[in-house]
Amino acid sequence: MVGSALMRRLSAARYHNVVTRTRAQLDLTDQSCVNRFFEHEKIDVVLLAAARVGGIRANSVFPASFLYENLAIETNVIHAACKYKVSKLVFFGSSCIYPKVCPQPIKEEYLLTSALEPTNEAYAIAKIAGLKLCEAYNKQYGTRFVSLMPTNLYGPNDNYNLETSHVLPALIRKAHEAKERGDATFPVWGSGTPRRELMHVDDLAAAATFLMESDVGEGIFNAGVGRDWTIREVAQLVSRVVGFKGELVFDTSKPNGTPRKLLDVSKLANMGWTAKIGLEDGIVATYQDFVARTALMRHSVGTG
């Protein structure tokens, strides 16, 4: 999702010499493969968006995989970027790096001031290690590695697998399938009271290229929209966009996750960047993408 958004943004900004690899073409958890790639391609700038990601369930079931794979990707790419003298690197983290309970909105300096949310601790620790590695390389080697901490993302090419998806794509799929079946209800994890800030992935891509093109060579920068919604409000909006007419059922036996994660986005705003895509407009476009992808998959299976 993030990679495709970056490609759309870079193409629109007329960057033509963009080097990419699929997961099948380059194993970022293998240091020797990463080194060969950097040596051969003579990379100038790195946007490090690659990661193993997932929602509450995936983080809870596969903590070792989340911790190991993300640590391996980060250490291999950041080390190679230094070794092969990349001029700038933008490391993509996550708002889950911040403590479970801390003042709102969350400033960058609140990092490591108290305990993390247990349901995504492994992923958060890996991302904290990545941004600290950027800081360490800057200090020791004079590199220009910066870290971008996006809020919860959604948009085209999102993951709609209910076993591993984040909250918004899961709600879109549940609402759509409930509508298709004619169900009277559709389930929502938790109480509906936690609040979430949601940003369209194209806004993240815009923030990343803005930071890439800036003169800034170090630091952590939050990227978000500056407001949040309850899960109940998000689920109601998704239902309206999808056209589901039934009722929401909140399953309080399921975890809520962090009570609130609203980022303070003043650092980027003071530099001149703010998000542009409204939540309802973003959900409408994302639902259209989901319907198109679902239809394509059905066609592929039907004509196999």
The answer on whether 85 is annotated among ligand-binding residues is no
- Which ranges of the chain does DSSP label H, i.e. alpha helix? 2-12, 31-41, 56-61, 63-83, 121-141, 167-181, 201-213, 231-242, 266-271, 279-303
Burial status of residue 17 (CB atoms within 10 A of its CB: 0-12, 13-18, 19 or more): exposed
The answer on whether 189 is annotated among ligand-binding residues is yes
Considering the candidates 15, 68, 110, 123, report the single residue annotated as catalytic.
Answer: 123
Q: Are 168 and 152 in contact (CB under 8 A)?
A: yes
The answer on whether 229 is annotated among ligand-binding residues is no
Residue 113: which of 131, 99, 96 has the closest Cα? 99
The answer on whether 273 is annotated among ligand-binding residues is no
Torsion of CA 113, 48, 194, 180, to 10 degrees: -170
Active site residue 137: no
DSSP letters for 146-184: EEEEE-EEE-TT----TTT--HHHHHHHHHHHHHHHT-S
The answer on whether 166 is annotated among ligand-binding residues is yes
The answer on whether 153 is annotated among ligand-binding residues is yes
- Annotated catalytic residues are 123
Q: Which residues are annotated as a binding site?
A: 127, 150-153, 166, 174, 189, 196
Q: Which residues are annotated as a binding site for NADP(+)?
A: 127, 150-153, 166
Q: Which residues are annotated as a binding site for substrate?
A: 174, 189, 196
